Amino acid sequence: MASWVPSLTVSLICVASTYNACARFFPYYPAEGQSSIQRHWADFRPVIDVDLSTLVCNDPGTYAEEYATVAAGAEIEAYYKGWPHDIGPIIAWMAYCGPEPTSCSSFNGTGRHYFKIGQAGLLSGTIHEGMWAQKQMIANNFTWSVTIPERLKGGAYLIRHELIALHVPFTPEFYPECAHLYVVGSGTEVPGDEYLASIPGVWKKDGKSSGLLVARVACLSCEHAC
């Protein structure tokens, strides 16, 4: 991230009820010896090229060492301490890794696996002065909450938060963060094909202005956002 200084703390994804106990990954520290539910990333630079594999879980996006067990229907919070950008949307995705708690440790995340569980953009007002999701997140102590679909089939899932900063004209900045979850519960439902998107692939450059064309992907249990 060009304008986010390295001293700021990495984002943190965790179950709201056990927020302070969640394992975090800290960039700029040696990766060796860190044990986290969050996939590794090296620094605060954004992803600009939407065709790169780093759009999946940032750079390098190395597998997490841990996973968090979460009940279907539970709330998840993402924490971005000191986040400086207040213009842009926030999207939360999930992708099924497999039936075992550690299945995400062998799931690289590339491909048509992702379904939205939450999204918000310009909530009110004008583009430059209005209330964007990122401004609301900052006002809410730098946290953003989403709910795991209550009827979702159990198993290992990658949860992927995507902040898209729009403060630079014609150059959207993507900040993806991923964590390993193991969903438990009595749910049996899985998203149909119409809910799935490919990453990379869901965003397209128009070739001239680098404006983005959003793939028409439905949102699972998003309520007001979709």
Q: Which helix (H) or strand (E) holds 163?
A: strand 155-165
pLDDT at 156: 97
CA distance 222 to 146: 9
CATH class of 12-225: mainly beta
Collapse the DSSP code of 7 into the 3-class scheme (helix H, G, I; strand E, B; otherwise coil) and give the result: coil
Q: Is 131 helix (H, G, I), strand (E, B) or coil?
A: strand
3-state DSSP helix/strand/coil % of the chain, to nearest 5: 10, 35, 55
3-state secondary structure of 73: coil
pLDDT tens track, the chain, 226 positions: 222 222 223 344 554 433 334 566 666 566 666 778 889 888 788 999 999 999 999 998 889 888 999 999 998 888 888 889 999 999 999 999 999 999 999 999 999 999 999 999 999 998 888 999 999 999 999 999 999 999 999 999 999 999 999 988 878 899 999 999 999 999 999 999 989 999 999 988 764 433 454 433 444 444 333 3
Instruction: Choose among 225, 204, 12, 202: nearest CA to 114.
Output: 202
And the tokens for 12? 């943190």
CA distance 8 to 27: 10
Neighbours of 216 (CB within 10 A): 7
Q: Are 77 and 46 in contact (CB under 8 A)?
A: no
**pTM score:** 0.82
